[in-house]
Amino acid sequence: MSQRETSDGRAVGAVVVVQLDGKRHDVPYREGQSLLEAARAAGLRPPFACEQGHCGSCAAKCLAGSVTMAVNDALDADEVAEGWVLTCQGRAVRGAHCVVSYDEE
């Protein structure tokens, strides 16, 4: 996520890159949105179920940038260290060009 920032430092007009089914998409991203919300708002159909951070259905790998999770009841520490995030709980950290992929295994 990058581009312009407001006077209080929040990014505006930001974009995250989402890889899904072998294609990369530039997805508009608003501060505070989950990555899953942003992807769905852009018309993508990523996997998800609970939207509460419990099931792991929405997991994707962060390939660049940084993501914070509000709740994580599905991924273990090793998976998080490898870059896996729950996109229903994940929010892009401002100022970093964020790339997440649903295509990793």
Binding site for ligand FES (CB under 6 A): 48-51, 53-58, 74, 86, 88
What are φ and ψ of residue 19, in 5° steps?
Answer: -100, 125
Nearer Cβ to ligand FES, position 56 or 83? Answer: 56
Nearer Cβ to ligand FES, position 55 or 96? Answer: 55
Closest Cα to residue 19, out of 42, 40, 46, 41? 46
Question: Minimum Å distance from CB 40 to ligand FES?
Answer: 11
Opening angle at CA 48, ends 22 and 42, nearest 5: 60
Question: Minimum Å distance from CB 6 to ligand FES?
Answer: 29
Nearer Cβ to ligand FES, position 12 or 49? Answer: 49
Locus of tokens 């100022």: 95
